[in-house]
Amino acid sequence: MDLSSDPRIVLTLDAGGTSFRFSAMQGGRQVTESLAMPSHGDDLDRCLSGIVEGFSLIRARCSAMPAAISFAFPGPADYPRGIIGDLGNLPGFRGGVALGPMLEERFAIPTYINNDGDLFAYGEAIAGLLPHVNALLEEAGSPRRYRNLFGVTLGTGFGGGIVIDGRLLAGDNSIAGEVWLLRNKLDPGMNAEEGVSIRAVRRAYAAAARIPPGEAPDPEAIFEIGMERRRGDAPAAREAFRRLGEVAGDALAQALTLVDGLAVIGGGISAAWPLFLPALVAELNGTYTAPDGRSFRRLASTACNLEDPDGTRAFLEGDLRTITVPGSRREMVYDPLPRIGVGLSRLGTSGATMLGAYAFALARLDGKG
C-alpha cells in the first residue's frame, strides 16, 4: 500500500490513561504538530469534551477538510460500531459509550476506532518491518516473500495484532490477537501479561535481587543495570529480562504456529531487546518431547533473530538450490527451509500505530477494509 501520494487528511489520536495526543496525517506522514491534552479519564463529560476540543483544534490547523477520523482507543470495545466499553484506565467510560457515532455527528466525517495493538501491526505491515524484510530478500536474490505479520507491544501490558495478506484481522468480537491472555509458561496459573510487562520485569528483578517489590526500579533502569552501565544487581536484571523473553517467546510460538509469518516487537520495553530477544528466539526454536523420548521442534519453521547479523544472514540465505522439473530440462530455484524472522519495529510504536490508523481509514473509505 503506497500512501505517500494520497492527498486525504485523517485526524488521529494517541489515547493514553493520563493524556491524549492529537495530530493529523496526510500522505502517510504527520502534517500538524501534536497537541497534548489531559484525558480526564475519571470524568466522562470532561473526557468527551476534551476529545471534541482536541480534534477541533487539530482540524483548524489542517490545510484542507479532513476525510476521516481514525485512532486507537483502549478496549473492551465494539470497534466496528465505535462503542467503547468499561475501561480500566479510563474509569469514566462505563456501560457503553458511543464515541465513534458522537464524533461522526459532531464533525460530519467517518470515524474509525481500533485497538492499538492491531493498528501497530497494521502500520508495520504497510511500511515497517514487513516491507523492510521483503526488500532485504529481494536484494539478496531470494524468491521468498512474506505477507503475514504478528505484532506485539511490550509495556504496561502485552498487546498484539495480526495482519494476514495485507488485511487486519479483527475477529468477530473485535478481540483477535489478544496475546496477553495466553498462558504464562513460567506460572501457568497466570496469563502471559504477568510475565511480559513493566510490572513483570520489576517483580522479577525484585525477586532475583531479594528486595521488596516496591523498591525495584523501572525497566529502563533495570536494563541499564543489566548492561552494567548503572549500579545494581546485574545478574538479577539479566534474569528479569531473560524470564520476560522466555514467557514472550512461548506466547509468540503459540501465535506463530497459527499465523505463520514474521513477528515484530514494539512498546517501551522493546528498547531492552539485547537482554530478552535471545531468550525469546531460543524459546521459538525450542523442542517438544514425544512419548518415546525423541525431541522435535515446537515450530515447523526456524526462527531467526533479525536484530543479530548472523540471524539476518541465515534468514536471507535460507537453503537455495536448483532442481530440475521431472521429464524436462527446465530448472527451478527452490528454497525448502521454512523460516520466520523476529525483529523490532522499524517505525517506532507510536509512528506505526498512527500510520496504521491512517491506512485503516483510507482502506475503509475506499471500501477495502
Torsion of CA 352, 58, 16, 171, to 10 degrees: -50
Total domains in the chain come to 2
**Burial class (CB within 10 angstroms; exposed 0-12, middle 13-18, buried 19+) of 44:** middle
Instruction: Tell the residue number behind the cell numbers 495482519, with chain if given.
Output: 163
**Burial class (CB within 10 angstroms; exposed 0-12, middle 13-18, buried 19+) of 284:** buried
Are residues 275 and 206 both part of a single domain? yes
Are residues 265 and 163 both part of a single domain? yes
- Rounded Cα gap, residues 104 and 82, in angstroms: 10
Are residues 319 and 192 both part of a single domain? yes
Question: Can you give the CATH number for the domain in which 35 is found?
Answer: 3.30.420.40
The C-alpha cell at 197 is 510487562
Are residues 212 and 243 both part of a single domain? yes
* Residue 137 belongs to a domain: yes
Choose among 173, 169, 198, 183: nearest CA to 269: 198
The answer to pTM > 0.85 is: yes
Residue type, 347: L
CA atoms within 13 A on the CB side of 142: 21
Are residues 79 and 225 both part of a single domain? no
320 DSSP assignment: -
* Residue 175 belongs to a domain: yes
Which among 98, 114, 130 is the end of a domain?
114
Are residues 67 and 130 both part of a single domain? no
Are residues 109 and 124 both part of a single domain? no
List the domain range (segments joined by +) for residue 79.
Answer: 9-114
Residue 142 three-state SS: coil
**CA 140, 313, 141: angle at the middle one, nearest 5?**
10
pLDDT (tens, 9 = 90+) of the chain, 369 residues, equals: 678 899 999 999 988 778 899 999 999 999 999 999 998 988 999 999 999 999 999 999 999 999 999 999 888 899 999 999 888 778 888 889 999 999 999 999 999 999 999 999 999 999 999 999 999 999 998 889 999 999 999 999 999 999 999 999 989 988 899 999 999 999 999 999 999 999 999 999 999 999 999 999 999 999 999 999 999 999 999 999 999 999 999 999 999 999 999 999 999 999 999 999 999 999 999 999 999 999 999 999 999 999 999 999 999 999 989 999 999 999 998 889 999 999 999 999 999 999 999 999 999 999 876
